């Protein structure tokens, strides 16, 4: 058995791009995924990009038996945990599904790791744990809060990791707080594939540009920001993937670690700036209407990136024009394949 990185949710948006980055860095990957929001076809695309098809096991992180089998049959040295539900609005309608998948699933996974004596764990947290920012840029010591069940599941898992780390020697863990991941692999072979109406800005913008949807609704232009629309720290998913490889290396090299770092660019762009960048990248118009604010939204949010640079030697490198160009390539190639 050769040493393997277990990637839960590896066929999803961020998991698939990170699998590509891991394989290109020379790691052997085993994906565990229940395919609730993705498909097996992603494995072919990863193989086309990297020349290697990752190992795959259909299974759920809530299922202790599947997890036990995974750890028994493979020489797993570390786990990157992406599998989870991620729609804020949905989390207020079906909170128990969110606590079950995101919290119970993480507990089952950590318990299986403990049993197998695998103590290297990289977790997908979110900038949502900062709540409404008290000051910008957001540093990792900013107070945490949650205004919806999704955000609360991220807070709880961060705390579970800290408790576990304090209870037993040898855990090397990273809590990676993502800002707003966008873009796609430059090949156009993998990207974000939301089911139904996209909740997030950039997949929606992409579908307006293709003509699949008539116009974008901009949620408010009366925020205290330069043009009145919401400002976010958009990060290219390939930069985010590289951040995971750096965090994994850090954990594998450490004897003991509980790292908490922002993965963002440090720069904020407004909704209208992103719309214009997408129009430029695609050559297509993106008509929009200004509508009421979306409940729960904050005005502005961007990362302090110094800690990630100091501890991981990692920085995001890609600008919004590249994020939009790569998202557009994915969207148009995907439309042709359908
Ligand atoms: C970005 C900006 C909207 C859609 C959410 C979650 C967060 C994380 C990522 C993870 C805001 C505006 C959006 C639209 C719009 N979750 N907007 N019209 O809200 O920063 O973060 O997703 O997996 O936890 O809270 O991202 O892309 O939804 O919105 O005007 O149709 O675009 O108001 O200013 P957000 P987003």
Closest residue by Cα to atom 32, ligand 1, is: 201
Residue 150 a catalytic site member = yes
Q: Which of 150, 204, 223, 234 is catalytic?
A: 150
Distances from the Cα of 115 to the Cα of 2, 110, 133, 248, angstroms: 20, 9, 39, 21
Atom of ligand 1 nearest to the CA of 223: 34
* 278 CB burial (10 A radius; 0-12, 13-18, 19+): buried
* 99, part of any domain: yes
160 CA → ligand 1 middle, Å: 27
The pairing of beta strand 234-236 with beta strand 288-291: unpaired
Q: Which atom of ligand 1 is nearest to the CA of 180?
A: 9
Q: Does any ligand 1 atom lie closer than 6 A to the CB of residue 231?
A: no
Atom of ligand 1 nearest to the CA of 294: 33
CB of residue 237 inside a 6 A radius of ligand 1: no
Best residue among 152, 233, 271, 286 to mutate for probing ligand 1's pocket (most ligand atoms within 8 Å of CB) is 271
273 lines ligand 1 (CB under 6 A): no
**Closest residue CA from atom 24 of ligand 1:** 128
* Residue ID of nearest Cα to ligand 1 atom 26: 200
Average pLDDT over the chain reads 97
Q: Determine the pLDDT at residue 262.
A: 98
Q: Exposed, middle or buried by CB within 10 Å (0-12, 13-18, 19+), for 222?
A: exposed
Atom of ligand 1 lying closest to residue 231 CA: 34
201 within ligand 1 shell (Cβ under 6 A): yes
Write the pLDDT tens digit of every residue in 267-326: 999 999 999 999 999 999 999 999 999 999 999 999 999 999 999 999 999 999 999 999
Is the CB of 271 within 6 Å of ligand 1? yes
Please report whether residue 223 resides in a domain: no
Residue 142 has pLDDT above 70, yes or no: yes
Residue 319: both structure tokens together: 């600008």
pTM: 0.98
Query: Of the residues 201, 205, 272, which should be mutated to test ligand 1's pocket, given the most ligand atoms within 8 Å of the CB?
Result: 201
Of ligand 1's listed atoms, the one at least distance from the Cα of 205 is 31
Task: Calculate how far, in angstroms, residue 182's C-alpha sits from the geometric centre of ligand 1.
Answer: 11
Atom nearest to 154 CA in ligand 1? 24
In a domain, 35, yes or no: yes
- Does the C-beta of 90 come closer than 6 Å to ligand 1? no
Q: Is 175 a member of any domain?
A: yes
Whether residue 71 is contained in a domain is answered as: yes
Q: How many domains does the chain have?
A: 1
Span 2-55, pLDDT tens digits: 799 999 999 999 999 999 999 999 999 999 999 999 999 999 999 999 999 999
Query: Do 293 and 224 touch, CB atoms closer than 8 A?
Result: no
Is residue 283 packed enough to be buried (19+ CB in 10 Å), middle (13-18) or exposed (0-12)?
A: exposed
144: CA distance to ligand 1 center in Å?
Answer: 19
Distance, in Å, from the CA atom of 294 to the CA atom of 271, rounded to the nearest integer, reads: 13
154 pLDDT tier (thresholds 50, 70, 90): very high
Please compute the mean of the pLDDT values over residues 110-125 and round it to a whole number.
98
CATH number for 55 = 3.40.50.720
Long-range contacts (CB closer than 8 Å, 24 or more residues apart) made by 142-151? 147/296, 148/88, 148/91, 148/92, 148/296, 149/91, 149/92, 149/95, 149/98, 149/99, 150/85, 150/86, 150/87, 150/88, 150/90, 150/91, 150/98, 150/102, 151/88, 151/126
Please report whether residue 61 resides in a domain.
yes
If we measure between CA atoms, which residue out of 291, 323, 270 comes closest to residue 215? 291
Inside any domain, residue 11: yes
User: What pLDDT does 337 receive?
Assistant: 76
pLDDT of residue 1: 65
Residue numbers of the domain that contains 145: 4-183+235-264+304-316
- List pLDDT tens digits, range 214-255: 999 999 999 999 999 999 999 999 999 999 999 999 999 999
52 lines ligand 1 (CB under 6 A): no
User: How confident is the model over 144-157, as a mean pLDDT?
Assistant: 97
Average pLDDT over residues 77-104: 97
pLDDT beyond 80 at 338: no
Place of tokens 């863990």: 173
11 pocket-lining for ligand 1 (C-beta < 6 Å): no
Residue 201 domain flag: no
């Amino acid at each position: 058995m050769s040493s393997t990185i277990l990637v839960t949710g590896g066929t999803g948006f961020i998991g698939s791009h990170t699998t590509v980055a891991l394989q290109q860095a020379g790691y052997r990957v085993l994906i565990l995924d229940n395919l609730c929001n993705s498909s097996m076809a992603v494995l072919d695309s990863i193989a086309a990009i990297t020349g290697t098809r990752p190992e795959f096991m259909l299974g759920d992180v809530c299922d202790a038996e599947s997890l036990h089998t995974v750890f028994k049959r493979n020489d797993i040295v570390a786990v990157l945990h992406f599998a989870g539900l991620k729609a804020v609005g949905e989390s207020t309608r079906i909170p128990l599904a969110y606590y079950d998948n995101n919290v119970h699933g993480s507990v089952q996974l950590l318990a299986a790791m403990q049993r197998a004596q695998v103590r290297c764990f990289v977790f997908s947290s979110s900038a949502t744990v900062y709540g409404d920012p008290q000051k910008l840029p957001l540093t990792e010591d900013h107070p945490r809060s949650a205004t919806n069940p999704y955000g609360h599941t991220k807070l709880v898992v961060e705390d579970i990791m800290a408790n576990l780390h304090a209870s037993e020697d040898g855990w090397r863990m990273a809590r990676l707080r993502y800002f707003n991941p966008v873009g796609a692999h430059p090949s156009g072979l993998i990207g974000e594939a939301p089911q139904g109406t996209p909740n997030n800005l950039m997949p929606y913008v992409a579908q307006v540009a293709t003509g699949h949807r008539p116009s974008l609704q901009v949620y408010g232009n009366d925020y205290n920001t330069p043009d009145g629309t919401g400002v976010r720290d958009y990060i290219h998913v390939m930069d985010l993937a590289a951040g995971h490889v750096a965090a994994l290396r850090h954990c594998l090299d450490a004897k003991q670690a509980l790292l908490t770092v922002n993965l963002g660019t440090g720069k904020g762009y407004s909704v209208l700036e992103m719309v214009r960048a997408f129009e430029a990248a695609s050559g297509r118009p993106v008509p929009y209407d200004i509508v009421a604010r979306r409940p729960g939204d904050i005005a502005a949010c961007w990362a302090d990136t110094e800690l990630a640079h100091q501890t991981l030697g990692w920085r995001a490198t890609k600008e919004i024009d590249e994020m939009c160009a790569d998202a557009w390539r994915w969207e148009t190639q995907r439309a042709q394949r359908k």
